[in-house]
Structure 1
Amino acid sequence: MSVPSEFARRRSATIHDVAAASGLSRGTVSRVINGERYVSAEARDSVMSAIAEVGYVPNTAARNLKTKRSHAIGLIVHEPHSLFLEDPNIGAILLGTNSVLSAADYQLVSLIVDSERDSDRVAEYLRGGFVDGVIIISARENDPIGRAVVAMGIPAAFVGHPPDIDGIAYVGIDNVQAAEAITTRLLHTGRRRVGMIASALDRDSGRDRVAGFRAALGDAFDPALVVDYPLYSYDSGVEGMRRLLDRAPDIDGVFAASDAIAAGAMDVLRAAGRSIPKDVGIVGFDDSAWALRCQPPLSTVRQPAGDLGRMAAQRVLDQLDGRESATGGTFLETVIAWRESA
């Protein structure tokens, strides 16, 4: 049975159709579509009007073959799927990254690494040339993705800085200084038995926050009052606070390595009949949505997560355009948000 003509598939508009509708040459149309210079504003307006008139859609695949660019940047997140959804910092970094890439007409591609199989799959994907560069969040020591990126030599930036990988640009914060500053302020409220629920000791942020905590305590540091867990999660705070109470029932101060951890710890303290901050003062890290959901509101370190994403994206774009080398670090400032929890 024949298909009625009104249902016949419409022929896709071509660059020749745009040229005919605009009254300009195919070369001029091509320069406008490819964003090249040396095109008058009048000609550019005519081409854009013609594109809208004929319904032309650029052939991205053909353009990518010609330019040898995918116009996509991968955002690699080394976290379990559950934490990807739970951690507000990851979302803020993602949105910051996307804002810069979108303005530069690049597509953000999210790649979540939750297992060794994911690492192998993502590394193979990168080798396939599907992205022009990568931004890597939460990379650990002995990270196979980081090593693969170094070996491939593609433009890249870490958010954070794995100490065993060189040759990749990075942006971050001074976790040692920030942790020391907020622990010192907690001590100035008169706390004498202060513990820490640490996390992510296989990456720079986790280790550096412990180092800052230890520096603030000096000779009063007690390793028995530090417990650690793999993830910056609410559950880590619950389990960690229970362990600290078992070890030191007289504990009167806690530094949690993230706001999510602090939220879990605060729930355990309340269930144990401890008043916050009267009996136990507690501080966190990030100034994420968790901090304001806590009762009382959480004293914490404000981490500029969105700015970290924006800066990392810009560093990758600068490498693609030849404006920057692939090495060196940039640190952004943090501030203490002091609230009722301490």
Structure 2
Amino acid sequence: MTGAARRRVTQQDIARMTGVSQATVSLVLNGRAEDSVKLSAETRERVLRAIAETGYVADPIARRLAARHNRILGVFTYEPVFPSANSDFYHPFLVGIEQQAEQLGCDLLLLTSAPVVDGQRRIFHQDNRLRLADGSILLGRSLDRSDLARLLAEEVPFVSIGRRDDAGGPVPSVGADYPAAVAVLVRRAVELGHERLAYLGQGAGPESWADRMRGFRTAVAGAGVTGVHYPTREPSGTPAEATEPGPDLAAALDAALAAGVTAVLAEEHADGVALHELARSRGVRLSIATLGEPTRAAPATETEFTSLRIPRQAMGAQAVEVLMAVIEGTPGPRQRLLPCEVVPGTTLIERGI
């Protein structure tokens, strides 16, 4: 019989060769003999010798099932992440997830069969395949509260990338510490002489926006300066398609100048860039900082903006770590906030210059 045609050795073969049961072979393979059955040293040695002589290789799927884990992690995205203009924002998260999963010897399953209901993907549907994975990582700007509540109620292991509010219980998550980072920018603006600051953005809705606004309001109050809010509207179309600035930037600039605002913190990078270009076209010097990575196309510019760099790759990697802890029931925090890096840039300048 040639090597190519050689039949794969099984546990049953090992059992027949050594005169023991297949269950005994399995116990020896999985190192559980001392816990389950008192095997003699001779029996154990006989089985191990047969394994070595035959070159037996355990079926990895069977071993995973015996351990009650497939070592498969699901990734569910509420929004399209590729291929699209939006993919640049999500790409570092996916890189972090993939690299950490590889280090832990896990495979990834991208859950793409979810139907779109009322404009949003939904995890739970008739043919959902969540249970194929040991647990899942959820990725998206807005996560459905009912999905989160059901995952918690049914004790389905999962972790959210991005801090999430309570959904019937603590939500395992890895997020960015936006309040602390925004507070750093506010204090920096105050040190540069700015006494009237504006927040340009929705400041509500998804936790990432609400957290930025909370950081702004707390820091402004703590510094004893004035803070105003110019809300924006969502661009039309899906997040992947939306490329036009959300707010009426001309009206926002007029209102800011009339109110004596000298520094603006823009929730969306594209809006901050567009506002900066508009102010410059009018000959107005306005300090601007943006509060994160671009999620939609921004006007072309060579200006290096004062901004926040979100630790997206680290968030993806640590989401895998938290998910494995949830799956295996190991101790440790189930909610993490990672610091954002403040990029100095050139657009947050001294007042009056």
Instruction: Tell me by how many angstroms 1:58 deviates.
Output: 4.3
CA contact (8 A) 2:174 2:335 kept: yes
Query: What corresponds to 1:136 in structure 2?
Result: 138
SS of the aligned residue for 2:246 comes to helix
Name the CA distance, whole Å, in 2 between partners of 1:36 and 1:189: 66
Q: Which residue of 1 aligns with 2:315?
A: 308
**3-state SS of the aligned residue for 1:75?**
strand
Q: In 1, distance between residues paired with 2:203 and 2:10?
A: 53
Among candidates 275, 292, 303, match of residue 296 of structure 1: 303
Structure 2 equivalent of residue 239 of structure 1: 246
Counterpart of 1:336?
A: 342
Equivalent residue letter for 1:324:
P
Aligned to 1:320: 327
CA deviation vs aligned residue, 1:68-111 (integer Å, no higher than 9, x gap): 43321122223355797525442212211222211222112234
Aligned residues: percent identity?
A: 18
Question: Does the 8 Å contact 1:96/1:309 carry over to 2?
Answer: yes
Q: 1:71 to 1:35 in 2, by over 3 A?
A: farther
Helix, strand or coil at the partner of 2:181: helix
CA contact (8 A) 2:78 2:143 kept: no
- Cα drift, residue 330 of structure 1: 2.1
Q: CA deviation at 1:163?
A: 1.5
Match of 2:263 among 238, 253, 271: 253
Partner of 1:220: 226
Q: TM-score, normalised by structure 2?
A: 0.69
Contiguous gaps of at least 5 residues in structure 1? 1-8, 20-24
Alignment check: 8 A CA contact 1:78 1:137 kept: yes
Mean Cα deviation higher: 182-191 or 69-78: 182-191
2:207 pairs, out of 189, 204, 224, with 204
Q: Which moved further from structure 2: 166-175 or 92-101?
A: 166-175
Instruction: State the secondary structure of the residue aligned to 1:70.
Output: coil
Q: Tell me by how many angstroms 1:172 deviates.
A: 2.0
CA apart distance, 1:183? 2.6
CA distance in 1, matches of 2:206, 2:129: 25
Maintained 8 Å contact 2:101/2:108: yes
| Cα gap change, 1:141 to 1:93, in 2 (>3 Å) | closer
Gaps of 5+ in 2: 15-19, 35-43, 349-353
Residue 317 of structure 1, CA deviation: 1.0
- Kindly indicate whether residue 182 of structure 2 is the aligned counterpart of residue 179 of structure 1: yes
Q: Which has the higher helix share?
A: 1
Determine the C-alpha separation between the residues in 1 that align with 2:195 and 2:306: 18
Contact 2:74 2:108 in 1 (8 A): yes
Give the number of equivalent residue pairs: 317
- 1:59–1:162 CA distance, 2 compared to 1 (3 A): closer
Q: Give CA deviations for 1:163-212 in whole Å, capped at 9, x if unaligned.
A: 23224322223222211221332343344554333247322111111122
The amino acid that maps onto 1:279 is R
SS class of match (2:345): coil
CA contact (8 A) 2:75 2:110 kept: yes
Structure 1 stretch displaced more, 230-239 or 97-106: 230-239
**Deviation for aligned residue 1:130:** 0.9
- Residue matched to 2:116: 115
- The offset of 1:338, in angstroms, is 0.5
